[in-house]
Amino acid sequence: ATCSADRFLMLWKLKSQCRAYRFAGHAEAVTSVEFSPDGQVLASASQDHTVRLWIPCIHGESSVLKGHTASVRSVSFSHDGYSVVSASNDKSIKIWSVCYQRLLFTLLQHTRWVRCAKFSPDGRIIASCGEDNSVNIWDTRSKTCVNSFSDYEGYANFVAFNPSGTCIATAGSNRAVKLWDIRTNKLLQHFRVHRAGVNCISFHPSDNYLITASSDGTVKILDLLEERLIYTLHGHQGPALCVAFSKGGEKFASGGADAQVLLWKTNFDTLDYKEVLKHNFRRTHIDDPPHLLDIYPRLPHLHGEKLESVEVNPNFDVPDTLTPDPIVVEIRPSSTIST
């Protein structure tokens, strides 16, 4: 699923007989989209101040969640799919019920625009980042901010939990990618490998890799265990705005200001991804003790050294860059999702 400043939500069928379904409904640019964990619902955020829930089918059913008073920057599901969290330019974070399609509660502490908010894998905390240069950690039960990381070099555009829920990574407007341990409140790793602001990040399901998208036009893959840059991917003509691994980690997609979505195949890990996902699910169970070795560097820090990576340019390295565009099916909003 992809979203765009063209106001449409696009659902892509990538198997044989490729098709794309274009969903209309938002009145302004769509800034964020995410599947529910079970894949049955889509949530989207827009500059029209709304969040929408969609049934991804040809009937175009959707429900509008109204409550924000400014552009909504991001939307994300909880691990059980019962709630979504949205971040907005109105300086607030709102949590919504998917089943009842109503506002549950609002979190207020950011003093400027909130760029991103995400649930932890166990759903007990929310991480948010805003243009007030802070990254806040919220307890969803007490509905209070329990911790805050400040970065005086710039603000974070995006925040993400690692699959085990022990760390968060931030994508900085100041070109930095930082990993923080939310149990010890310590900065674990600090990468400065881009030449412009970092717009989005995504963890590989194995917990060992992080992918980044930057306004310098590149997508980069970081090895978190060895603390090094391993791949630099060129393909977008202009800023790379978003990136995401597939649920199993065998593919990832990137989107850019050039109106292109590129789908990539990973080739840097031979693990059985289903086993990795089972392992990470066990580690995020509410009764499991924290694993102290999660994400910690296994080798000496490489900061200050020249980081070598493999440069990949699809214009030269990928044989098929001329796949015909899929048939696009227009879906107009027909009705509201029933509860």
Per-residue pLDDT tens digits for 11-23? 998 887 788 999 9
Average pLDDT over residues 302-330: 68
pLDDT at 294: 46
- The two structure tokens encoding residue 4: 């765009």
Confidence of residue 243 (pLDDT cuts 50, 70, 90): very high
Average pLDDT over residues 40-50: 97
Confidence of residue 61 (pLDDT cuts 50, 70, 90): confident
pLDDT > 90 in the chain, percent: 68
Q: What angle do CA 66, 69, 73 make, to 5 degrees?
A: 85
Confidence of residue 162 (pLDDT cuts 50, 70, 90): very high
End-to-end CA distance of the chain: 23
The model carries a pTM of 0.85
Average pLDDT over residues 286-306: 45
The residues of the chain that CATH labels 2.130.10.10 are: 1-108, 109-338
| Surface-to-core class of residue 4, CB atoms within 10 Å of its CB (0-12 exposed, 13-18 middle, 19+ buried) | middle
CATH of domain 109-338: 2.130.10.10
pLDDT at 326: 82
Write down the mean pLDDT value for the chain. Answer: 87
Among the listed residues 129, 47, 62, the one whose alpha carbon sits nearest the alpha carbon of residue 93 = 129
Give pLDDT tens digits for 116-147: 999 999 999 999 999 999 999 999 999 999 99
Q: What is the CA radius of gyration of the chain?
A: 19
Does the pLDDT of residue 222 top 80, yes or no? Answer: yes
Position 166, amino acid? T
Average pLDDT over residues 67-82: 97
Give pLDDT tens digits for 245-280: 998 899 999 999 999 999 999 876 555 545 545 555
pLDDT at 65: 97
**Of the options 2.60.40.10, 2.30.30.100, 2.130.10.10, 1.10.10.10, the CATH number for the domain spanning 1-108:** 2.130.10.10
pLDDT at 293: 45
pLDDT at 281: 54
Order across the sheet with 30-35: list the strands.
30-35, 42-46, 50-54, 62-66
Does the pLDDT of residue 112 top 60, yes or no? Answer: yes
Confidence of residue 71 (pLDDT cuts 50, 70, 90): very high
Q: What is the separation of C-alpha 263 from the centre of its chain, rounded to a whole number of angstroms?
A: 16
Cβ contacts of residue 89 below 8 Å, gap of 6+? 70, 71, 72, 73, 113, 114
Does the pLDDT of residue 296 top 70, yes or no? Answer: no
